[in-house]
Structure 1
Amino acid sequence: MNVHHLELFYYVAKYEGITAAVRKMPYGIQQPAVSGQILQLEEELGVKLFNRRPFALTPAGEMLYDFAYPFFAGLPDVEERLRGEDGKHLRITASASVLGNHLPYVLEKLKLKIPELKLTLKEVEPSELHTQLTTQQADIALTVLHGKLDEGLRSCELMTIPLVLLVPSTCKINTLEQLIRPSDVGDHLESKLPLVGLPENEALSQIFQSGLREKNIQWQASMEVNALDIIQRYVSRGFGAGIGVGIPGVKPIEGVDVIPLDGFDPLVVGAIYQGSMKPIAKEFLQTAQEYVAGIASNK
């Protein structure tokens, strides 16, 4: 078996297609060349490795990919270690809110400990975290810890953040109960205002809805947006109430009041990683825990 052909197949399987593989390979190669060499590999093995449209690995392709994956996926880390950079390169993937709030301060403190720190930061959707870790594109994923982790992943809790309700300042409302009234249909309660929230698959939305159900309140988001700061902007303009979190040291924008949500489970923000962490990742977690402890002591 030609090892170069096996490498090309690895990238095609990883990125689910020849066109995508050519774009993301670490060296230049033309699509016809990849197609031709993959065909040679299939002819040599006497099996079909994947269906082209739509892309799908055959059983033989899955077997070969499982064999090739550990070697080729581990090459970047081996290369870094050989170059002596592994001890100072940290790759973090996280949501936009995590990247923008406290993380810069944590990394600033980490850089004081490790002056030659090299960082790779990437914003991704929660659904992409597993792939980022298992394909070794990230050392640590920072996210909301909610639900069961995928097999092979571990977590470390960093911060607990309470849920809050955001309301227009013009409403003069101080509690959730002041927003709630009996429903005209059924025996449940409902809100006097529309709800601005995140998509249903987001952990924040799921935790909020779970808290509402315990109080027999039915209140689905009539406006779904993809970021907490966008929720605030709509609330400030009177489009309804919004879901939010009480991040320490972060104040709402003008025109928005914050109502505590007593009895609702908090968000738990933490780090997810695969296998054993390299030393710089452990140092980052220790620095983050020290930072969070400092915030808690200043409340």
Structure 2
Amino acid sequence: MNVHHLELFYYVAKHGGISAAVRHIPYGIQQPAVSGQMRVLEETTGARLFERSPFRLTSAGEKLFAHVQPFFETLGEVAASVRGEASEPELRIGASEIVLRDHIPVVMQRLRKRHPRVRLSLRSGYSSELETWLRDRQIDLAIGPIEARAPARLQVRPLARVPLVLLVHRRSPLKSAGELWAVKKPREPLLGLPAGTTVMRNFQRGLKRRGVVWPQAVEATSVELVTRYVANGEGLGVNIAVPAVIKHRDVRALPLDGFEPMIMGLLWRPEPSAVVQRMLDEVSQYSRETWPEWASDAAGS
């Protein structure tokens, strides 16, 4: 059945005849056109749908009207709902699991004071994934490690320069990381994030400058896993010096002096929306308050 014919039939049945329907149909259409299309609808259904004079729905017409009435009578509500949803700002954020879990909720409380109806979408991933998602417009804002040079077609704002640390088990005899560099080829298993991440690239560059060869033995999917596996005695781990990440009763953190820190930053596409711009400012303010000793250095980088 033709949907337009069903719409006309809905108005005819609701208002009790073709002439009355023409006065209520919300667009211009003449009575002969409606009459002609009702005849086509009856031919299509193979049934007489209503008596013309006096107007009365047949049993077939009542059955058809009961089917189409809920759809056409709720179209206005559906349209209003769709318009309302489209008018609500959307914010899609990509970051590591720890950032999304421990920090974004606090920032969102601040953002909602300005944008109380913002729709939020969260997606965790590594820095390479975040950049791809931004370029493909799958997310609006990324928070993660950044390099000195901004990626192509993306804007960058540094937030904090987070030092790297070497995690050892609390029973380890090591007093400093420098003891390992003296042997040039440490035998202990090396744990860390995937080799392509900023943390591990910075660490391996630091080893190379010191003439140390130390292949990675274990790749972990999160900084929390690195700490946990060191606590389990699986080896030594490279991590970031965030207390919430490395604090464990069976783990000690040795400073990695002279190694490049991990620079946390914001990435977004040019010409951000109002809600994205506000989120950029809120995250920057939160970073300065939470890590003042690191954020102040990042401001000038």
TM-score bracket, normalised by the shorter chain, equals 0.5 to 0.7
Which whole-Å CA distance do the structure 2 matches of 1:80 and 1:203 have between them?
43
Whole-Å Cα distance in 2 between the matches of residues 241 and 171 of structure 1? Answer: 10
Q: Which runs of 5+ in 2 are unaligned?
A: 1-81, 295-301
Match of 1:283 among 270, 278, 283: 278
Distance of aligned partners of 1:242 and 1:84 in 2 relative to their CA distance in 1, 3 Å threshold: same
- Identical positions, percent: 29
2:147 match: 146
How many residues were matched structurally?
A: 213
Q: Does 1:269 align with 2:272?
A: no
Question: CA 1:134/1:297 → structure 2, altered by over 3 Å: closer, same or farther?
Answer: closer
- Structure 2: how far apart are the matches of 1:298 and 1:153? 27
Q: Specify whether residues 240 and 251 from structure 1 end up closer, same or farther in structure 2 by C-alpha distance, changes over 3 A only.
A: closer
Consecutive unaligned residues of structure 1, counting only runs of 5 or more, are: 1-78, 183-188
Q: Is residue 122 from structure 1 mapped to residue 117 from structure 2 by the alignment?
A: no
SS in structure 2 at match of 1:83: helix
Q: What is the CA deviation profile of residues 11-67 of structure 1, one whole-angstrom value per residue up to 9, with x for unaligned ones?
A: xxxxxxxxxxxxxxxxxxxxxxxxxxxxxxxxxxxxxxxxxxxxxxxxxxxxxxxxx
Change (3 A) 1:220 1:292: same
Task: Please say if 1:166 is aligned against 2:167.
Answer: yes
Query: Between Structure 1 and Structure 2, whose CA radius of gyration is higher?
Result: 2
Residue of structure 1 in register with 2:111 after alignment: 110
Which one-letter code corresponds to 1:109 in the other structure? R
Distance 1:112 1:257, change over 3 A: farther
Give the C-alpha shift of residue 284 in structure 1.
Answer: 0.9
CA distance in 2, matches of 1:206, 1:138: 25
Distance change >3 Å, CA 106–CA 202, structure 1 → 2: same
- Matched residues in 1 for 2:279 and 2:143: separation? 12
User: How far apart in 2 are the matches of 1:297 and 1:142?
Assistant: 18
Which digits, 9 at most, give the CA deviation of each residue in 1:240-298, with x for residues without a partner?
A: 10010012555522211111111011111111111211111111111111111112348
Relative to structure 1, is the Cα distance of residues 180 and 130 closer, same or farther in structure 2, using a 3 angstrom cutoff?
closer
User: What do the CA deviations read for 1:151-205 (whole angstroms, capped 9, x no partner)?
Assistant: 21111112221111110011143310233443xxxxxx12242211222211111
Q: 1:257 to 1:190 in 2, by over 3 A?
A: same
The yes-or-no answer on 1:208 pairing with 2:211 is no
Aligned AA (2:215): Q
**8 A Cα contact 1:154 1:275, kept in partner:** yes
Query: Structure 1 residues 170, 290: closer, same or farther in 2, change over 3 A?
Result: same
**1:218 is the counterpart of 2:251:** no
For 2:169 and 2:232, the matched residues in 1 are separated by: 7
AA aligned to 2:231 is S
Query: Counterparts of 2:218 and 2:253 in 1: how far apart (Å)?
Result: 19
RMSD, aligned α-carbons = 2.4
- The separation in 2 between residues aligned to 1:228 and 1:134, in whole angstroms, is 26
**Is 1:245 matched with 2:240?**
yes
Q: Extract structure 1 runs of 4+ deviating beyond 4 A.
A: 79-82, 248-251
Which amino acid letter does the alignment assign opposite residue 258 of structure 2? G
Q: Give the aligned partner of residue 193 of structure 2.
A: 198
CA–CA separation in structure 2 for the residues paired with 1:102 and 1:161: 15
User: Hey, what's the Cα distance between the residues in 1 that align with 2:255 and 2:86?
Assistant: 51
Alignment partner, residue 175 of structure 1: 176
Residue 117 of structure 2 aligns to a residue in which SS?
coil
Return the offset for 1:82. 9.0
Q: Is the 8 A contact 2:239 2:246 kept in 1?
A: no
The CA distance in 2 between the partners of 1:82 and 1:113, in whole Å, is 18
Q: Contact 1:248–1:295 (CA<8 Å) still a contact in 2?
A: no
Q: Note closer, same or farther for the CA distance 1:82–1:192 as it changes in structure 2 (3 Å cut).
A: closer
Distance 1:250 1:233, change over 3 A: closer
Amino acid at match of 2:202: I
Q: Contact 1:196 / 1:243 at 8 angstroms: preserved in 2?
A: yes
Contact 1:180–1:192 (CA under 8 A) maintained in structure 2:
no
